[in-house]
A = this chain, B = another copy of it.
Amino acid sequence: MRVLFIGFGSVAKEMARILTHSHLYPRLDFSLKAVGIFTARHGGVEDKNGIDLARVLDNFNKYGGFAADGGGLSCLTPLAAAMTLDYDVLVELSVLSIEGRGEPAASYIRAALARGKSVVSANKGPVAFVYRELKELARENAAEYLFESAVMDGAPVFNLYERCMKGAAVTGFSGILNGTTNFILSQMEIGTPFEEALRQAQDAGIAEADPSMDVDGWDPAAKAAALANVLMGADLTPLDVRREGIRHVTPASAQDALKRGFRLKLICRGWKEDGDIRTGVMVEEIPQNHVFATVSHFGSALRIEADLMHPNIIVQECPDLTDTAFGVIEDLISVESRLSLAR
């Protein structure tokens, strides 16, 4: 399977590490041929015979960029690569942009789908802003558009809904979906000031580059919109989500809640009201015997309500980059199965 990568940040590097060490993973019966890797800031490489991922990884670690020996340097832009190169699947791993309303990622994805090429993306932006359009484009062109890692990293969320809840209609959801704010809130319970807890999250490499994405609730708002769009058939954007951040929380207020038997959690919700689908991101007091109260540090959880089942909750314990990379690989395995069926 010939893969075009757009984005070569931490997730792509972890994918490259896993794929170049696949002998360590007994159930990972999977290999791919990278025919292009393009980035916004470091240029790109292409090689229709396959790029040596181990060498690219090594070059990035040594020089912070591509070198001529890991595939032929290319002067294409990422969009031009998506539009013109010969590949089977686009792996889209660029970063979330709220100001860009899902762009430029959405354009990369559009370019691939319009050519009938499947897309695997870890990017919540396009799902949060233009899901309905992309889903329809994929359907029209008989291509897959998968994005398991966009919410809760590799934990099953979107694939769970599509593949394990057939026939059930989702009526609502709630969840802890932003690791940085959950970590900060957990740290404030033991007295750590906000700014120091934020710095710890940044040092751990979990916080978004722009802290506002986390602490003002933009990242969880994007996830709430993405979940409402996919699981509930909504057509919302993060700008439609009733949004509250955690800047007003102090160690004193977190500790006061704890004394009263509650933990402060930033909760994403989707629900139906007067025939509409509403979404919100709010700091809530969660009783200590609730599953959400057991989610500490960078953990996450999602509770799904549906008509034919009692609520199911997915909890992910302390994910890291391996989980995100695994979600992308898992989606690639699904695309490969579909391509081999179609052959």
Q: Is A329 an interface residue (CB 8 A)?
A: yes
- Minimum distance in angstroms from A44 CB to a CB of chain B: 27
For A310, list chain B residues within 8 Å (CB).
316-320, 322-323
Please, how many angstroms separate the alpha-carbon atoms of A24 and B154 in the complex?
Answer: 33
Q: Which residues of chain A (271-328) have a CB below 8 Å from chain B?
A: 288-291, 293-294, 296, 307-320, 322-323, 326
| Number of interface residues, chain A, beta carbon within 8 A | 49
Please, how many angstroms separate the alpha-carbon atoms of A181 and B17 in the complex?
Answer: 45
Q: Is A164 an interface residue (CB 8 A)?
A: yes
Question: With A291-B291, A294-B290 as given contacts, are A312 and B156 in contact (CB-CB < 8 Å)?
Answer: yes
Copies of this chain, count: 2
For A29, list chain B residues within 8 Å (CB).
167
Task: Check B155–A333 contact: CB distance below 8 A.
Answer: no
Q: In the complex, which of the residues B315, B320, B322, B326 contacts A167, with contact meaning CB atoms closer than 8 Å?
A: B326
For A62, list chain B residues within 8 Å (CB).
none
- Give 1 or 0 for each of A129-144: 1 = CB within 8 Å of chain B CB: 0000000000000000
Q: Is A168 an interface residue (CB 8 A)?
A: yes
Task: Check B317–A314 contact: CB distance below 8 A.
Answer: no
Q: Is A67 an interface residue (CB 8 A)?
A: no
Q: Is A330 an interface residue (CB 8 A)?
A: yes
Q: Is A18 an interface residue (CB 8 A)?
A: yes
Closest 4 CB pairs of A and B: A156-B164, A27-B169, A313-B315, A163-B163
- In the assembled complex, 20 residue pairs joining A and B whose CB atoms fall closer than 8 Å, in A order, are A18-B308, A25-B167, A25-B169, A27-B169, A27-B307, A29-B167, A154-B308, A155-B312, A160-B164, A164-B164, A166-B330, A167-B326, A168-B326, A289-B293, A289-B294, A289-B296, A308-B322, A308-B326, A312-B315, A312-B317
